[in-house]
Amino acid sequence: MKNNTYYITTPIYYPSDNFHIGHCYTTVIADCLSRYHKLKGEDVYFLTGSDEHGQKIAERAAAAGKSPKEFVDPIVANAKDLWKALDIEYDRFIRTTDEDHIRCVQRIYEKLYEQGDIYKGYYEGWYCTPCESYWTQSQLVDGKCPDCGREVKLMKEESYFLRLSKYQKQFEEYLESHRDLMQPESRYNEMVNNFLKPGLQDLSVSRTVDKLSWGIPLTFDSNHVSYVWIDALSNYISAMGYLSEDDSLFQTYWPASLHLVGKEIFRFHTIIWPIMLMALGVAEPLKVYGHGWLIIEGGKISKSLGNYKDPRIYIKDYGVDTVRYFLLSEVPFGNDGQFSELLMVQRRNSDLANVLGNLVNRTLTMSNRYLSGKIKKNDVSGAPDASLQAMINDLSVLLEDKMDGLRVDEAIGVILDLLRRSNKYVDETEPWKLGKDPEAKERLESVLYHLLEAIRVSAIALMPFIPETSKRIFEQLNTSAKSYSDMAYGKVDEYQVTANPEILFERIDEKSIGVSEEPKAAEKPVEESKPEITMDDFSKIQLQVGLVKSCKKHPKADKLLISQVDIGDRTVQIVSGIAEHYTPEEFTGKKIIVITNLKPAVLRGETSEGMLLAGSDGKLLEVVSVQDLAPGTKIY
Ligand code: ME8
């Protein structure tokens, strides 16, 4: 097992609607990592798919007058078409309605039930009959249903539970020596402080068929179907044939090298999933990476908000590699980042057209103009050669360092550094002058050879990121030296490049796209400065350090979070418009700065007894926080 293998997964997405650019983000990054490991000669398995059971899909199907399966089939077909358009090279697209998955999930329930890790109990909560939904006490608004505002009643319902609590200690011990499981590291403390320290509750894992019929039937109790996480998470091993007659994939590829997920489902993948596997006696995944969100005009792109275009429109307008390149390079991996069509076009123009495309085009044009496209390796060296050769030879090491550390955006950065250096090399060596000097033919050939080598090695490095472009570059260079071991200077003895170089990326006029969605910096309205104040004015504001003890979403407003904040001598409730930038889990445990003498205000039915300090440039928002000061400390 795990001999030169690499098993990578994306979440299985809900096909409650067509997939959007946020789903493309995770999937393109997973595809890039998968291609990178293949390039290095590893045996890779890449899994993606769809999570098709549950209340929401059942409801949407009913509203459309279809069965759930009839409802999701065209959405899944559409998703597969999108992945094709984006050059996603997966090994399997698993659907939770696939026969082998259903059978595996049933066997997992049976095994856990037989060994006593799933038991029958009662699920208790506040039930809203018209909405057919359970709510916890803290989710209620003024004691009523947060969705429809109607009366709720305390109901008790039979449910099976997974004994998470039994495994807490064993899991904590495991985690001590496997901190690598939770990536990036910053999310480790969040999980430990917010979920493990308060103690794990057993998890409800079934619903009775009268409440939810669109789930996997449990074989030991025909009155129950699976509910949410066991069904979904099991896909990572059901696709490998776990507990089936043919489990050769499982034997070859498990444990997963990397589960790539968005930060909002990190908890399920780093606590519930590892404990489930522990109970099953199956090895833990090696890493789970929780990445940030792509946001659009200050908010998360989401199916329910409907604030997005079909990503295929961008692919059609700008080409698949512009979209892939943007998703892979624009956002510091792990953080939230902005998506807009204008930013995508700007990135294409600045990196793909001006740096990569320009270098390839000018090198091929000069190769044809001065040497009929035939360039041999020679030793006639000049001053800047050594530094360019060193950069070419260092690229694979730098790339490996960034990719193995999952810093995908920085990996693109090191490739761009070589391309920029190469453009500078053209300016330093001035081949157009050498071309006019019959004495300098050999030096000219050496200069062009250096450039072709820089392009070739960069194109190998770019294969996982923009595979179609790399292919076009290899075709124009007419070279077969394109494997990972060819990433070194001097691997080609003689080039005969194409006589008809084609432009790789035309520059796109930024004015031609929907610029209204993203005003340029210069066009942004200038915020007026506030009038001068005295020290006296300022001293009226009481600023203190506050520790966020707990936090939840405002049940009636998507943009608001409600936090309980310890300010030393008391706890205050603060309602703030940061839900599109922080999950409640992420925010809990932060030490923030609070204005504690502000007159309380009521925001969408919830009292806010203060205000927190945060900054925003219109795209990103960051709450001001401190490290060591204790709750209640005054800020001057
Ligand atoms: O959570 N930015 O499915 P889902 C970045 N079925 N990534 C985004 C994004 C955005 N704006 N929007 C979505 C589910 N994603 C479950 C998963 S796994 C066993 C079950 C990506 O359709 C990101 O990977 O809500 C996120 O975690 C996932 O889509 C959520 O997809």
End residue of a domain, out of 443, 474, 496? 496
The closest residue, in CA terms, to atom 30 on ligand 1 is 13
* 374 within domain boundaries: yes
Distance from residue 262's CA to the centre of ligand 1 (Å)? 6
* 112 within domain boundaries: no
Same domain, 492 and 541: no
Same domain, 355 and 482: yes
CA 138 – CA 259 distance, rounded (Å):
31
Residue 523: pLDDT band with limits 50, 70, 90: very low
pLDDT of residue 608: 87
pLDDT at 581 over 70: yes
pLDDT of residue 605: 77
Summarised one tens digit per residue, pLDDT across range 199-243 is 998 999 999 999 888 999 999 999 999 998 999 999 999 999 999
Distance from residue 336's CA to the centre of ligand 1 (Å)? 14
CA 293 – CA 295 distance, rounded (Å):
6
Distance from residue 13's CA to the centre of ligand 1 (Å)? 6
Can you tell me the mean pLDDT for 31-40? Answer: 98
Ligand 1 atom nearest residue 264's Cα:
27
Ligand 1 atom nearest residue 269's Cα:
19
CA 95 – CA 239 distance, rounded (Å):
9
Can you tell me the mean pLDDT for 177-200? Answer: 92
In testing the pocket of ligand 1, which one of 24, 93, 265 has its CB within 8 Å of the most ligand atoms?
265
The closest residue, in CA terms, to atom 26 on ligand 1 is 262
Neighbouring C-beta atoms of residue 312, cutoff 10 Å: 17
In testing the pocket of ligand 1, which one of 9, 21, 23, 408 has its CB within 8 Å of the most ligand atoms?
23
β-partners of residue 260 are 289
Q: Is the dihedral of CA 608, 613, 616, 620 positive or negative?
A: negative
Please report, rounded to a whole number, the percentage of residues in the chain having pLDDT higher than 90.
Answer: 72
The closest residue, in CA terms, to atom 21 on ligand 1 is 23
* 227 within domain boundaries: no
Ligand 1 atom nearest residue 14's Cα:
22
Same domain, 490 and 363: yes
pLDDT of residue 444: 97
pLDDT of residue 390: 97
Inter-CA distances, 157 with 53, 93, 164, Å: 20, 35, 20
pLDDT at 534 over 80: no
CA 498 – CA 47 distance, rounded (Å):
38
Three-state SS at 494: strand
Same domain, 421 and 559: no
Helix axes 385-404, 408-429, angle to 10 degrees: 170
pLDDT of residue 298: 56
Inter-CA distances, 181 with 165, 437, 512, Å: 20, 61, 45
Can you tell me the mean pLDDT for 353-359? Answer: 98
* 144 within domain boundaries: no
Same domain, 628 and 551: yes
The closest residue, in CA terms, to atom 12 on ligand 1 is 22
C-alpha angle 113-119-121 in degrees, rounded to nearest 5? 155
Q: Are strands 543-553 and 217-218 parallel, antiparallel or unpaired?
A: unpaired
* Domain extent at residue 601: 535-635
Residue 307: pLDDT band with limits 50, 70, 90: low
Distance from residue 597's CA to the centre of ligand 1 (Å)? 39
Ligand 1 atom nearest residue 301's Cα:
11
Summarised one tens digit per residue, pLDDT across range 126-174 is 988 777 777 888 888 889 988 788 999 998 999 999 999 999 999 999 9
Q: How far is CA 60 from its chain centroid?
A: 26
Structure tokens at 574: 């603060």
Contacts of 605 (CB under 8 A, 6+ apart): 141, 142, 556
CA 390 – CA 396 distance, rounded (Å):
11
* 124 within domain boundaries: no
Ligand 1 atom nearest residue 293's Cα:
2
* 352 within domain boundaries: yes
Ligand 1 atom nearest residue 292's Cα:
5
Same domain, 477 and 617: no
pLDDT at 116 over 60: yes
Name the more confident of 538 and 563.
Answer: 563
Category of 293 on φ-ψ map: left (φ > 0), alpha (ψ -120 to 50) or beta: beta
Distance from residue 425's CA to the centre of ligand 1 (Å)? 44
Is residue 71 within a helix (H) or strand (E), and if so which, with residue range?
Answer: helix 68-85
End residue of a domain, out of 496, 526, 545? 496
Same domain, 542 and 483: no
Same domain, 611 and 488: no
Residue 26 near residue 262, CB atoms below 8 Å: yes
Same domain, 389 and 479: yes
Domain CATH code at residue 380: 1.10.730.10
Residue 461 near residue 396, CB atoms below 8 Å: yes
Contacts of 570 (CB under 8 A, 6+ apart): none
In testing the pocket of ligand 1, which one of 8, 51, 57 has its CB within 8 Å of the most ligand atoms?
51
Residues contacting ligand 1 via CB (< 6 Å): 11-14, 22-23, 25-26, 51, 232-233, 261-262, 264-265, 293-294, 300-301
pLDDT of residue 305: 61
Q: What single DSSP character describes residue 168?
A: H
pLDDT at 439 over 50: yes
C-alpha angle 207-208-210 in degrees, rounded to nearest 5? 125
Same domain, 484 and 547: no
CA 339 – CA 336 distance, rounded (Å):
10
Domain CATH code at residue 607: 2.40.50.140
The closest residue, in CA terms, to atom 8 on ligand 1 is 22
Distance from residue 595's CA to the centre of ligand 1 (Å)? 35
Residue 527: pLDDT band with limits 50, 70, 90: very low
The closest residue, in CA terms, to atom 23 on ligand 1 is 262
Residue 442: pLDDT band with limits 50, 70, 90: very high
Summarised one tens digit per residue, pLDDT across range 54-64 is 988 999 999 99
Q: What is the pTM of this model?
A: 0.83
pLDDT of residue 517: 44
Summarised one tens digit per residue, pLDDT across range 254-268 is 999 999 999 999 999
pLDDT at 253 over 50: yes
pLDDT of residue 514: 59
Distance from residue 22's CA to the centre of ligand 1 (Å)? 7
Same domain, 477 and 587: no
* 369 within domain boundaries: yes
pLDDT of residue 303: 61
Name the more confident of 627 and 88.
Answer: 88
C-alpha angle 140-145-151 in degrees, rounded to nearest 5? 115
pLDDT of residue 520: 40
pLDDT at 2 over 60: no
CA-based nearest residue to 474, from 485, 490, 460, 487 = 460
The closest residue, in CA terms, to atom 14 on ligand 1 is 13
pLDDT of residue 56: 87
Distance from residue 308's CA to the centre of ligand 1 (Å)? 15
pLDDT at 518 over 60: no
Same domain, 435 and 366: yes
CA 441 – CA 428 distance, rounded (Å):
17
Length of the chain in residues, anyone? 636
Can you tell me the mean pLDDT for 276-286? Answer: 98
Distance from residue 543's CA to the centre of ligand 1 (Å)? 37
β-partners of residue 288 are 182, 259
The closest residue, in CA terms, to atom 7 on ligand 1 is 22
CA 507 – CA 486 distance, rounded (Å):
31
End residue of a domain, out of 496, 523, 555? 496
β-partners of residue 50 are 13, 95
Name the more confident of 179 and 139.
Answer: 179
CA 457 – CA 394 distance, rounded (Å):
10
Residue 135 near residue 125, CB atoms below 8 Å: yes
β-partners of residue 217 are 225
β-partners of residue 208 are 224
Structure tokens at 178: 């496997």
CA-based nearest residue to 274, from 283, 262, 265, 264 = 283
Distance from residue 229's CA to the centre of ligand 1 (Å)? 14
* 423 within domain boundaries: yes
Q: How many domains does the chain have?
A: 2
